[in-house]
A and B are shown apart, each in its own frame.
Chain A
């Protein structure tokens, strides 16, 4: 019964979305009345889709195997958390989650955006409803999650074992919140193009939404990377696989959008470019969600692909993206540009940032789609792998990282580069010194490693230098400096912490790439092996039953270089329902470094054991957490709080900005 209720709710939400779209576009000039109707419609859509999603969760939790989706993706023995996460571990269910987040963002605009002008509100919500209608329609007509099976089987087929992990419970919702959040920027861009209203206030409304989505996407990608790292058992954290690229492109574009919206908000410049980026970012998000799902690109991470719907998905993408760009081509020239500035200025630096990020998106896009194009044109199968991306992306990021610390120290409109350079002198000297020191200690394993370290330290120290500079440390009494530091606007802290995080991530990437060591060997229980100063003793091996799998457990004792010992366990599981095996690696963290231990299939009495030592690998994810923290911090700033955009009561004096 509740399944029919959910089904009916989704249909109703679809109908309301269609009505909101038509009504919104037809009557957006009608002032408060239409805005009010659309706001109520947006909240209603959210409630209805939440009911639909809740019905699916309930069916999975109580193992209602009359629901086809539950039969295919659940099992009564599965732990509760994986029963719930199993709802979105498949195509149909993940579509409902996607739509739920879409309508949630719409409802948030409706609830918090009271200060939005009526016409903008109407157009934004109409566009958001259009997206909801399109994707709810797609779900209902081609991938209905509410289909029943009669007679109901007694047991389900279980969820893909790799997905029975806490990673699935967290990663897709975060990633989707990021992807789908950019729909708000898209809707604002469309609204601006239709109404012709495009000014600093527009940027002030859009930027918090961009920041929010970007924060989710940052966490989602980092989480996905860590999940693949520990679950796939290959010891890699990034493969330049199409799915990863698909999530990385909107992140790069979103990062560019954050920075360009800043220019627009403060200086009323870069308007057309910001609108363009808003459209591009969401288009790349759509590409990210659906290109892989359409089955035309294959990936190691896909879990919800369905090639049969490929054509429908591609038509939908073409319609949304093509329509937006058609509107852009029609209307962009009517938008007026403003805000003049010299090439060397905060604006200039942010343009440089956008230039490199946008070019990097282009390079990643080419690398991701080139195999498709070549296959279609010549029939030759190729793969564009890590070497391509490392070369092109790396070469584009290096100059960006090199100029990054200058940006926050430059004044708006016209800046003095010499003065900025002077203020960065200490950071540069320190970065060079530390990079040389670390390279000398670690041994130059990779010719580019010292350069990478230098860039990482430079960006991190540069961020600290900015804070020191703004607090006038050393130039005024210490207590006064401290007061200034604490009193800095949160956006200033956000900039510094975010950029510091970039530096930390770069350091993690460089150090683990350059100094990782690996050992593959055969061990029997009782034998030991050594790697990077760690001694790994294979204590015992036994077969143990788990809740819905059989586990081959290897127990190890690791002795660290400092003499401390730890017990750990690596296992191989065979899932009862599907007969599928998975490998659970043992990962031990020492400081910022990790020891990663994987157990191979037993052969007679020997076991192949593969061990990696990954120096400072956790910095990669710690850096991304800092970036996300920066996003949260910026959102809590009074000036940019989500949904509470207000015109600055008086011109804000910001000497250092």
Chain B
């Protein structure tokens, strides 16, 4: 509402008016840029494969996306409590999730879990994503598997 003051003052030249408008534009743009930069610094979530989690020593509590394959024979359910192991072939991370897993959550299939590492080193998933498509393997998972040499295109897509 800073414009309200400027408006009632009579006798502004056209140049001054234009300067006021440009200053207003600049202000909003500066605000927006600051917001975006701050948000990009603090609010982005890194995607890690199990090997990344170990090699980068991800701190407990830091929100990340963990991606890989659900290890065969690792999914244990007890009511709404689920535990499973996310693997990229080279390393495994144990994960826990409370709730209903997506329909296409299956052993041997790709998965992306959002959450953070607990103090015990287990991954606490707050959200598990699996796309509603039988062939789907998330792009990040494909890359992580390629990096660890576990990518088998015929099994994935």
Given A162-B132, A348-B3, CB of A383 within 8 Å of CB of B35: no
Given A343-B20, A359-B32, CB of A381 within 8 Å of CB of B143: yes
* B35 and A381 contacting across the interface, CB-CB below 8 Å: no
Give chain A residues whose Cβ lies under 8 Å from the Cβ of B38.
Answer: 391
Q: Which residues B30-80 have CB closer than 8 A to chain A?
A: 31-32, 35-36, 38-40, 43-47, 65, 77, 79-80
Nearest opposing residue in chain A for B38, CB measure:
A391
* B47 and A383 contacting across the interface, CB-CB below 8 Å: yes
| Assembly CA distance A601 to B14 (angstroms) | 70
* A383 and B143 contacting across the interface, CB-CB below 8 Å: no
* B80 and A300 contacting across the interface, CB-CB below 8 Å: no
Give chain B residues whose Cβ lies under 8 Å from the Cβ of A233.
Answer: 103
| Contact of B80 (CB < 8 Å), options: A395, A520, A581, A583 | A520
Type the 1/0 row for A377-397, where 1 means its CB is closer than 8 Å to any CB of B: 000111111011001100110
* B3 and A387 contacting across the interface, CB-CB below 8 Å: no
**A residues within 8 Å of B by Cβ?**
160, 162, 232-233, 298, 300, 303, 340, 342-344, 348, 351-352, 355-356, 359, 362-363, 366-367, 370, 380-385, 387-388, 391-392, 395-396, 403, 414-415, 417-418, 520-522, 572, 578-583, 598, 600-601, 603, 606, 608, 610
| Contact of B43 (CB < 8 Å), options: A384, A396, A581, A598 | A384
Name 23 A/B residue pairs within 8 A (Cβ), A-sorted.
A342-B7, A343-B17, A344-B3, A348-B3, A355-B24, A355-B25, A356-B28, A359-B32, A363-B36, A366-B36, A370-B44, A380-B46, A382-B44, A382-B46, A384-B40, A384-B45, A385-B45, A391-B43, A417-B1, A418-B8, A520-B100, A522-B80, A579-B134
Given A520-B98, A598-B100, CB of A603 within 8 Å of CB of B77: yes
* B139 is an interface residue with CB less than 8 A from chain A: yes
Give chain A residues whose Cβ lies under 8 Å from the Cβ of B6.
Answer: 343-344
* A383 and B44 contacting across the interface, CB-CB below 8 Å: yes
* A351 and B21 contacting across the interface, CB-CB below 8 Å: yes
Nearest opposing residue in chain B for A381, CB measure:
B47
- Which of B1, B8, B44, B131 is packed against the most chain A CB atoms within 10 Å? B44
Type the 1/0 row for B3-22, where 1 means its CB is closer than 8 Å to any CB of A: 11011100000100100110
In angstroms, how far is the closest chain A Cβ from the Cβ of B109? 12
Given A160-B132, A344-B7, A580-B134, CB of A387 within 8 Å of CB of B46: no
Type the 1/0 row for B96-137, where 1 means its CB is closer than 8 Å to any CB of A: 001111011000000000100000000000000101111000
| Contact of A343 (CB < 8 Å), options: B3, B28, B79, B80 | B3
* A392 and B80 contacting across the interface, CB-CB below 8 Å: no
Given A232-B132, A581-B104, A582-B132, CB of A388 within 8 Å of CB of B40: yes
* B150 is an interface residue with CB less than 8 A from chain A: no
Q: Which 4 A-B pairs have the closest CB atoms?
A: A344-B7, A381-B47, A522-B79, A600-B100
Give chain A residues whose Cβ lies under 8 Å from the Cβ of B46.
Answer: 380-383
Nearest opposing residue in chain A for B29, CB measure:
A359
In angstroms, how far is the closest chain B Cβ from the Cβ of A209? 28
Nearest opposing residue in chain A for B136, CB measure:
A298
- Which of A366, A415, A578 is packed against the most chain B CB atoms within 10 Å? A366
* B140 is an interface residue with CB less than 8 A from chain A: yes
Give chain B residues whose Cβ lies under 8 Å from the Cβ of A396.
Answer: 32, 35
Give chain A residues whose Cβ lies under 8 Å from the Cβ of B99.
Answer: 520, 608, 610
Give chain A residues whose Cβ lies under 8 Å from the Cβ of B7.
Answer: 342-344, 414-415, 417
Give chain B residues whose Cβ lies under 8 Å from the Cβ of A343.
Answer: 3, 6-7, 17, 20-21, 24
Nearest opposing residue in chain A for B137, CB measure:
A298
Given A348-B3, A384-B40, A388-B43, CB of A300 within 8 Å of CB of B134: no
Given A343-B3, A396-B35, CB of A383 within 8 Å of CB of B103: no
Give chain A residues whose Cβ lies under 8 Å from the Cβ of B131.
Answer: 300
Give chain B residues whose Cβ lies under 8 Å from the Cβ of A600.
Answer: 80, 100-101
* B89 is an interface residue with CB less than 8 A from chain A: no
Give chain B residues whose Cβ lies under 8 Å from the Cβ of A355.
Answer: 24-25, 28
In angstroms, how far is the closest chain A Cβ from the Cβ of B130? 9
* A606 and B79 contacting across the interface, CB-CB below 8 Å: yes
* B138 and A298 contacting across the interface, CB-CB below 8 Å: yes
Nearest opposing residue in chain B for A417, CB measure:
B4
| Assembly CA distance A403 to B4 (angstroms) | 12
| Assembly CA distance A182 to B8 (angstroms) | 39
Given A391-B43, A522-B80, A606-B79, CB of A583 within 8 Å of CB of B140: no
Nearest opposing residue in chain B for A295, CB measure:
B139
Given A355-B28, A521-B80, A582-B103, CB of A344 within 8 Å of CB of B43: no
| Assembly CA distance A501 to B71 (angstroms) | 48
In angstroms, how far is the closest chain B Cβ from the Cβ of A504? 25
* B39 and A388 contacting across the interface, CB-CB below 8 Å: yes
Give chain B residues whose Cβ lies under 8 Å from the Cβ of A414.
Answer: 7
| Assembly CA distance A382 to B44 (angstroms) | 7
* A383 and B100 contacting across the interface, CB-CB below 8 Å: no
- Which of B1, B24, B32, B139 is packed against the most chain A CB atoms within 10 Å? B32
Nearest opposing residue in chain A for B4, CB measure:
A417
| Assembly CA distance A415 to B17 (angstroms) | 15
Give chain A residues whose Cβ lies under 8 Å from the Cβ of B138.
Answer: 298
| Assembly CA distance A233 to B103 (angstroms) | 10
| Assembly CA distance A581 to B105 (angstroms) | 10
* A387 and B32 contacting across the interface, CB-CB below 8 Å: no
* B132 and A388 contacting across the interface, CB-CB below 8 Å: no
| Assembly CA distance A72 to B20 (angstroms) | 60
Give chain A residues whose Cβ lies under 8 Å from the Cβ of B24.
Answer: 343, 352, 355
* B139 and A387 contacting across the interface, CB-CB below 8 Å: no
Nearest opposing residue in chain B for A231, CB measure:
B132
* A359 and B28 contacting across the interface, CB-CB below 8 Å: yes
In angstroms, how far is the closest chain A Cβ from the Cβ of B127? 9
Nearest opposing residue in chain A for B17, CB measure:
A343
20 more CB-based (< 8 A) A-B contacts, given A383-B45, A392-B35, A520-B100: A342-B7, A355-B24, A355-B28, A359-B32, A367-B39, A381-B143, A382-B44, A383-B44, A385-B44, A388-B40, A391-B39, A392-B39, A395-B31, A395-B35, A403-B1, A520-B98, A521-B80, A579-B134, A610-B80, A610-B100
| Assembly CA distance A385 to B64 (angstroms) | 11
Nearest opposing residue in chain A for B130, CB measure:
A300
| Assembly CA distance A580 to B130 (angstroms) | 13
* A382 and B47 contacting across the interface, CB-CB below 8 Å: yes
In angstroms, how far is the closest chain B Cβ from the Cβ of A631? 27
| Assembly CA distance A397 to B53 (angstroms) | 37
| Assembly CA distance A572 to B103 (angstroms) | 9
Give chain B residues whose Cβ lies under 8 Å from the Cβ of A391.
Answer: 35, 38-39, 43
Give chain A residues whose Cβ lies under 8 Å from the Cβ of B133.
Answer: 160, 303
| Assembly CA distance A415 to B6 (angstroms) | 12
- Which of A342, A348, A415, A418 is packed against the most chain B CB atoms within 10 Å? A342
| Assembly CA distance A213 to B139 (angstroms) | 33
* B17 and A342 contacting across the interface, CB-CB below 8 Å: yes
Given A362-B32, A391-B35, CB of A340 within 8 Å of CB of B21: no
- Which of A298, A343, A359 is packed against the most chain B CB atoms within 10 Å? A343
| Contact of A300 (CB < 8 Å), options: B25, B36, B132 | B132
In angstroms, how far is the closest chain A Cβ from the Cβ of B12? 8
| Contact of B40 (CB < 8 Å), options: A303, A370, A418, A582 | A370
